């Protein structure tokens, strides 16, 4: 599920299953042999709202508890083996039994606790395994894995189980129904029908040829392994290959100090420690227990001390950024809501889904933050806060605090152009923005149809736009790319949603001289923005660094560089693209990360591609920035040219190394 989707979903009741006896030694042997696969199955079925660290530990705990207590286990005959199982697993009743136990426990763990029945063991936090001082999580994947995880999170637990049994276990639908029935699901047919909504292949685009040494895009036209289910086996969903990071070190230190202070206080007035104090504070909703009671921490958590900026402060302020946004929304006076938001920010409980853009700290506020917004957005209550470094968004369902979400985005050194809008919510593929008080008009434009005009979503006095379709979580072929077009006293700019709290600004022009872009300039490049989703991007600049006449009188081609810069400074991504005349979209010929090329510090660039002419001849084409004195190719292709352009006739599949020499004598290699 997305971090903005906070409403919990109900789960059907479970049913019992019984059948022939499986020996405990068989079950143990199957568990040991197939442990990584069973843990992956549990991890995929568990609700993503648990958070990645808790989800990993819970998946291991559920798998380790599958062995029967006695000498015999239950039914395995109703649980078929997968059709393309690896040797040693197909037809193994021991594996079928432990798989059923893992699946049943994972489904039970996702059901909400109620007062009507005793909680099942799977619904309680696991005692083992337990990790202190570290957070464990699988390796992060790319945009495809992120999109799959978000789409899985939108399914109910039985539907996730049906999808995983199809894709990971290779079971036919009839067998999936048997497994789900044995696991206690009352309506497996509905789960399969819901899983069918995940169907659909993702489109790809790329160059016609292949150019290895110059970094040409080799992904175009390649089939995805195992179809749409191949991503289930990726490292993104492997809870046995883990990254480790420390927990909040400052919080641990405060825990230690608080524990020492508490031990001394217990001897004097231990009974008073459980009281909330004389300030009349009520429950803190989804927040974890307080870790400290000191004046600085208390001031940061007091809703009465929030900074409220006057509505017209931005008109006379020397700064024009988030620090002069006024507090807006219908719930700015709801002290209970604001207190919960601050408490969850300081100490999010295990049920809170926390997300942060790369390089953004997620610790407690250093002092009383600034309130930007508090109100109802779709089916949630939302609070937007700013502490000078970060924008923080707290969201909870209208009917309670279970399933609250907390999102962080870094916005330090924001300018007027960067502080034009913030995402308040996403629902069903749509996005809502809160615009800056200085924004005069806000319209929506499809970059792939720049001549089609704009639409103007309703924007009341509080600056909250109506929802409109967002490209942030979309998968499949790229047929549209909506951007927000804002106009203020300084001009008009384009902002695009890349799946984070703050949209990215689109610019065009030579590095160091970039200006706000027009929709026409970005139209052929819009779909390439999908490669930088979720990276903490601040702005994306496009620059046509060369034009080249094509061989065989085939017209001309444009060489463009697209550079995405981040709020944190590092992690920038650079793409080189080749656009031949007569083609609406170009091909990515090279890509790189954490490089200075195509930026204000180093605007130089060199890239190449294998190109097939209309006559059927193959050429190595290369282009550098205008200060390139010469270009040469070595290796499988030999050739050189004065200036920034090179065209050498070659054969399909040939490989070469490109080097260029600048006017000042400096040598650079091709981007790859």
In a domain, 4, yes or no: no
Residue 522 CA to chain centroid, in angstroms? 23
In a domain, 351, yes or no: yes
Residues 151 and 261 in one domain: no
Q: What is the pLDDT of residue 262?
A: 55
pLDDT band at 401 (very low <50, low <70, confident <90, very high): confident
Residues 102 and 122 in one domain: yes
Residues 257 and 360 in one domain: yes
Residues 147 and 30 in one domain: yes
In a domain, 655, yes or no: no
Range of 21-35, 89-103, 206-220, 597-611 with top mean pLDDT: 597-611
410-468 pLDDT tens trace: 999 999 999 999 999 998 889 999 999 999 999 999 999 988 888 888 777 789 999 99
Q: Strand pairing partners for 565? A: 539
Average pLDDT over residues 607-613: 94
How many domains in the chain? 3
Residues 578 and 460 in one domain: yes
In a domain, 670, yes or no: no
**Smallest Cα–Cα separation from 60: which of 127, 158, 152, 111?**
127
In a domain, 642, yes or no: no
Beta strands in 300-389 (DSSP E): 353-356, 370-377, 380-386
In a domain, 43, yes or no: yes
Residues 128 and 275 in one domain: no
Residues 351 and 372 in one domain: yes
Q: What is the pLDDT of residue 15?
A: 34
Residues 404 and 440 in one domain: no
In a domain, 353, yes or no: yes
555-583 pLDDT tens trace: 999 999 999 999 999 899 999 999 998 78
246-300 pLDDT tens trace: 765 555 555 556 656 555 555 544 444 444 443 444 567 877 666 555 677 778 8
Last residue of a domain, one of 349, 380, 410: 410
468-518 pLDDT tens trace: 999 987 777 888 999 999 999 999 999 999 999 999 999 999 998 999 999
221's enclosing H/E stretch is: none
What is the spatial distance between Cα 194 and Cα 171, in angstroms, rounded to a whole number?
Answer: 16
Residues 521 and 539 in one domain: yes
User: How many other C-beta atoms can be found within 10 angstroms of the C-beta atom of residue 429?
Assistant: 13
Asked if residue 546 lies in contact with residue 624, where contact means CB atoms within 8 angstroms, the answer is yes
Domain range for 476: 421-603
- DSSP secondary structure of 427-473: ETTEEEEEE-TT--EEEEEETT-GGG--B-----TT-BPPPEE-SSS
Last residue of a domain, one of 176, 209, 244: 244
Q: What is the pLDDT of residue 76?
A: 47
Asked if residue 543 lies in contact with residue 510, where contact means CB atoms within 8 angstroms, the answer is yes
Residues 211 and 95 in one domain: yes
Does residue 207 carry a pLDDT above 50? no
- DSSP secondary structure of 617-638: -EEEEEEE-TTEEEEEEEESS-
Residues 55 and 184 in one domain: yes
In a domain, 207, yes or no: yes
Q: What is the pLDDT of residue 285?
A: 80
Q: What is the mean pLDDT of the chain?
A: 82
Asked if residue 532 lies in contact with residue 525, where contact means CB atoms within 8 angstroms, the answer is no
Last residue of a domain, one of 359, 387, 410: 410
**CA-based torsion, 107, 113, 115, 118: positive or negative:** positive
Residues 78 and 202 in one domain: yes
pLDDT band at 72 (very low <50, low <70, confident <90, very high): very low
What is the spatial distance between Cα 615 and Cα 433, in angstroms, rounded to a whole number?
Answer: 50
């Amino acid at each position: 599920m997305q971090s903005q989707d906070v409403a919990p979903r109900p789960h059907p009741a479970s049913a019992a299953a019984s059948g022939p006896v499986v020996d405990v030694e068989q079950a143990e042997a199957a568990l040991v042999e197939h442990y990584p696969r069973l843990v992956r199955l549990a991890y995929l079925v568990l609700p993503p709202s648990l958070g990645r660290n808790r989800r990993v530990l819970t998946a291991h705990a559920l798998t380790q508890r599958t062995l029967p207590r006695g000498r015999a286990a239950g039914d395995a005959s109703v649980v078929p083996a997968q059709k393309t199982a690896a040797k040693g697993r197909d037809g193994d009743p021991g594996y079928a039994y432990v798989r059923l136990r893992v699946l049943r426990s994972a489904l039970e763990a996702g059901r909400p606790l109620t007062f009507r029945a005793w909680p099942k063991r799977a619904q309680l936090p696991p005692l083992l395994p337990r990790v202190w001082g570290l957070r464990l999580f699988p390796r992060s994947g790319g945009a495809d894995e992120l999109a799959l995880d978000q789409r899985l999170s939108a399914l109910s637990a039985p539907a996730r189980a049906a999808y995983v049994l199809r894709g990971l276990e290779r079971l036919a639908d009839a067998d999936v129904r048997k497994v789900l029935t044995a696991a206690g699901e009352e309506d497996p047919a509905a789960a399969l029908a819901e899983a069918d909504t995940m169907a659909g292949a993702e489109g790809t685009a790329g160059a016609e040829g292949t150019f290895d040494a110059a970094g040409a895009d080799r992904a175009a036209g390649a089939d995805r392994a195992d179809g749409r289910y191949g991503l289930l086996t990726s490292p993104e969903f492997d809870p046995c290959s883990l990254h480790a990071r420390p927990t909040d070190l400052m919080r641990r230190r405060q825990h230690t100090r608080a524990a020492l202070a508490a031990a001394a206080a217990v001897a004097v007035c231990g009974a008073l420690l459980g009281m909330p104090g004389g300030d009349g504070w009520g429950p803190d909703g989804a927040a974890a227990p307080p870790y400290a009671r000191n004046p600085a921490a208390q001031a940061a958590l007091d809703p009465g001390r929030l900074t409220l900026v006057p509505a017209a402060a931005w008109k006379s302020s020397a700064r024009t950024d988030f620090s002069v946004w006024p507090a807006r929304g219908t719930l700015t006076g709801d002290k209970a809501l604001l207190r919960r938001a601050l408490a969850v920010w300081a100490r999010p409980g295990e049920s809170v889904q926390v997300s942060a853009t790369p390089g953004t700290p997620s610790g407690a506020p250093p002092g009383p933050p600034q309130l930007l917004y508090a109100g109802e957005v779709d089916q949630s209550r939302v609070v937007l806060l700013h502490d000078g470094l970060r924008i923080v968004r707290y969201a909870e369902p209208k009917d309670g605090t279970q399933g609250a979400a907390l999102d962080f985005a870094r916005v330090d050194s924001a300018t007027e152009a960067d502080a034009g809008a913030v995402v308040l919510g996403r629902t069903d593929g749509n996005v809502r923005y809160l615009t800056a008080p200085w924004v005069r008009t806000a319209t929506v434009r499809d970059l792939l149809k720049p001549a089609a005009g704009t639409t103007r979503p309703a924007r009341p006095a509080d600056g909250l736009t109506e929802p409109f379709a967002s490209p942030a979580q979309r998968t499949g072929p790229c047929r549209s790319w909506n951007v927000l077009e804002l106009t203020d006293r300084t001009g008009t700019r384009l902002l695009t949603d890349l799946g984070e709290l703050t949209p990215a600004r689109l610019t065009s022009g030579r590095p160091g001289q970039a200006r706000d872009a027009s929709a026409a300039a970005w139209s052929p490049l819009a779909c390439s923005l999908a490669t930088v989703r979720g990276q903490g991007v601040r702005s994306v600049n496009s620059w046509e660094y060369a034009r080249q006449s094509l061989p065989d009188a085939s017209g001309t081609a444009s060489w463009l560089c697209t550079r995405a810069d981040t709020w944190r400074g590092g992690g920038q991504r650079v793409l080189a693209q080749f656009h031949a005349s007569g083609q609406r979209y170009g091909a990515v010929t090279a890509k790189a990360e954490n490089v200075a090329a195509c930026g204000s510090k180093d605007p130089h660039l060199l890239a190449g591609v294998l190109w097939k002419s209309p006559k059927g001849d193959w050429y190595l084409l290369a282009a550098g920035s205008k200060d390139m004195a010469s270009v040469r190719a070595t290796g499988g292709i030999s050739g050189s040219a004065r200036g920034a352009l090179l065209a050498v006739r070659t054969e399909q599949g040939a490989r070469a190394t490109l080097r260029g020499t600048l006017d000042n004598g400096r040598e650079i290699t091709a981007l790859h």
